[in-house]
Structure 1
């Protein structure tokens, strides 16, 4: 079997901001919030998890203004109780790398 895996730095395609959002979502809104975030073009991963942050979204944005807009206009209407935003400063080993 031959397997090929290409890893492209998304910043080469335009998005300059890579961020992880740790979200605290009331259980009644968890599924709907996850589905809505997964459908958004900025997200490249959305996962349910355990602990205080029960939903994690990873996204690429072209700039900090777009990250702010995402937080205010996309997260705002989803009933999210709390969000912690972490902007990725540098990557040592990207997801999917061998």
Structure 2
């Protein structure tokens, strides 16, 4: 496993113990950096009224990338599981 520095609390990757996703067909994936997640979280709040955190921004940013490149015209679903309240003391909402 390699080390990562990102703002996504609870968001990891390369975890062998996450077995629930094994053998699930995927249409694709995209890497999202912290700045993209921050920008998308802010856009979700200001344009859509969805007050969410870093990981929600990352998930929506990845879905948008997939829909722009390779899956144009498809439908993507993103589940946002928390609010942005716990991120008020971070640079996400400065």
TM-score range, shorter chain: under 0.3
TM-score scaled by length of structure 2: 0.24
TM-score scaled by length of structure 1: 0.24
Greater fraction helix: 2
